[in-house]
Amino acid sequence: MTGNGVDRDPWVMLRAATRARVGLGRAGDGLPTAENLRLAAAHAAARDAVHLPLDADAVVAALGERPSVVVHSAAADRAEYLQRPDLGRRLDEASEARLREAAPEEPADLTVVVADGLSPRAVHDHAVAVLDALAARLDDWSFSPVVVAEQARVALGDAVAAALGSRMVLVLVGERPGMSSPDSLGAYLTWAPRVGRVDSERNCVSNIRPPDGLSHDGAAEILAALMGEARRRELTGVELKDTGAALPEAAG
């Protein structure tokens, strides 16, 4: 600090306010060695998050006494999943048959799909904790078995919930890792799920990754509010907004 209280480095305040890489300095025409090493480590962490296998058995164990079903998309392995996003949106035949056998006699209000997505690490770290926090806020809701999905994209939830006959689906999925966020979980909510739904018909709560992102309780609070309005108005997507305080009334 200088005598008048102004820091010598003008980037200090900005760096303290963001996890983005700003004001890194330079060594000649390049970055300092320490920053290069940090960048390489962050890149490696992001790659590891993408390729880490989902431990479906551990997720099922963490669910405790909740009924669950493990399914697989039509992507045979991780390489095919990354190269063919369309296959990650479809169930394989055995999984679809398994779900139809597990469907409750009466349609459930909600199916929760725990999907590996592009960061199984995020699922391992956050998915069950978000589900626990959310379930505590949904006393009057009926649930189908929780579905743990391997090699899954968001839209796989539509096929899953349609097979189970559920009114709504919530997909908790590992988001694409960033250079400062290899463990970010997303939550996608769709009313009346069916194959062919598009992203504009969903609501998303993103960057669930305490302590650097949204907390588990914070995400559950937003999701519970969205879900209550979705059930009342029988819709999700661009017509259903979270203003940060109260959800808007239906137009007209």
* Topology at the third CATH level for domain 51-233: Rossmann fold (3.40.50)
Mean per-residue pLDDT over the chain, rounded: 90
User: What pLDDT score was predicted for residue 252?
Assistant: 42
**139: Cβ contacts below 8 Å, ≥ 6 apart:** none
- In angstroms, the CA 69 to CA 97 distance is 11
pLDDT-derived band of residue 246, with 50, 70 and 90 as boundaries?
very low
Q: Which residues define the annotated binding site for adenosylcob(III)alamin? A: 154, 175, 204
Measured from the Cβ of residue 58, the count of other Cβ atoms closer than 10 Å reads: 13
Give the pLDDT confidence of 192-217 residue by residue, as tens digits.
999 999 999 999 999 999 998 999 99
What string of DSSP letters covers 108-142?
-SBEEEEE-TT-HHHIIIIIHHHHHHHHTT-TT--
Closest CA to 153 of 197, 191, 94: 197
Give the residue-averaged pLDDT of 101-110.
92
- Strand 146-150: give its sheet, edge to edge: 68-72, 146-150, 111-115, 168-174, 185-191, 202-208
pLDDT per position as a tens digit, 3-46: 454 557 778 887 777 777 787 778 888 888 888 888 888 888 88
Three-state DSSP at 169 gives strand
Which residues are documented as binding site?
A: 154, 175, 204
What is residue 196's predicted lDDT score, i.e. its pLDDT?
94
